[in-house]
A = this chain, B = another copy of it.
Amino acid sequence: MRTFLHVSDIGDIEKALAEAAEVKKNPFAWQHLGRNKTIILIFFNSSLRTRLSSQKAAMNLGMNAIVLNVNGDSWKLETEMGVVMDGDKPEHLREAIPVIGSYCDIIGVRSFAQFENREFDYNETILNQFIRYSGKPVISLESATVHPCQAFADLITIEEHKAAPRPKVVLTWAPHPRALPQAVPNSFAEWMNAADVDFVITHPKGYELAPQFAGNARVEYDQMRAFEGADFIYAKNWSSYTEYGKILSTDRSWTVGKRQMDVTNNAYFMHCLPVRRNMIVTDEVIDSPRSIVIPEAANRVVSAQVVMKRMLEGLQN
């Protein structure tokens, strides 16, 4: 495994879930793989879960983990090619990336969508430079369009909690005061479309996800109808893809509350966190026994560890 961006990178999903279960049961069983290996985790943006769970996963595997905050620790990085660098950015990604690559065995990169240019973001321009120039396996720790470690952890969590063999899973948009990237819903949709679930997306008009992520998922604009009989509710805000980066609605009737949960099949509530309480979801729902946001976050160690383990296995050859 050389890159981890898309569900296709993980190969057979059932096999990946079985491996996740094994890793969760015996987290320290593969430390021979990580001996004298180093992962560098690069953050262009804030992070709590990703930062901590990636370090934990690396340590479980016996690896060294080095964390780099690009803006606090290091030099501001120029990302455009061909420019005269006479401004406030003293280093170019074109040098920084192969240098970082020369100091480690695996690279993880957090680099959010910048919302200046949809094509720049949707080409995963930053992450693809890491893939092209580092010479090392690269993990997206949430990049411009995807958050695969999260989506894999979500799938593991659904697998652990599902009662029916093919549960109904609903991804619902919810309001938020700031314009957020589509990375989490994109990856969640991509992974649910690949998994054995009945998947529905619900959001106000104008919030359609990019077609390559929405795939053939059923889209339902009536949130209450979408929630009927659901086994899992996955709430998340995102900004518009079509009117790129715009906030088209702040309709608080989409805030997930008891009213909506009552029409589900006693659904579990999920969210990737951080979550704005009483905007995305009411205190009542997120504090209820059906809220599984904490076990979901805990599974971030498991998903990261499976990915790193496979990359380490690839390095053995």
Report if A210 contacts B (CB, 8 A). Answer: no
> Contact: B75 with A69, CB < 8 Å?
no
Interface residues on A, range: 35 or more
Report if A129 contacts B (CB, 8 A). Answer: no
Residues of B within 8 A of A75 (CB): 46, 48, 274
> Contact: B74 with A277, CB < 8 Å?
no
CA distance A82 to B27 in the complex (A): 37
Report if A297 contacts B (CB, 8 A). Answer: yes
Identical chains in the assembly: 3
> Contact: B38 with A28, CB < 8 Å?
no
CA distance A69 to B72 in the complex (A): 9
Report if A265 contacts B (CB, 8 A). Answer: no
A69-B73, A73-B51, A275-B91 in contact; A99/B38 too (CB < 8 A)?
no
Across chains A and B, which 4 residue pairs bring their CB atoms closest together, nearest first?
A: A91-B274, A85-B276, A102-B298, A48-B74
Residues of A within 8 A of B (CB): 27-28, 36, 38, 40, 43, 46-49, 51-53, 55-56, 59-60, 64, 66, 68-69, 72-75, 78, 81-87, 90-92, 94-96, 98-100, 102-104, 177, 273-279, 283, 286-287, 293-295, 297-298, 301
Extra A-B contacts (6), CB below 8 Å, given A94-B277, A96-B274: A48-B75, A52-B68, A75-B274, A78-B277, A92-B274, A95-B294
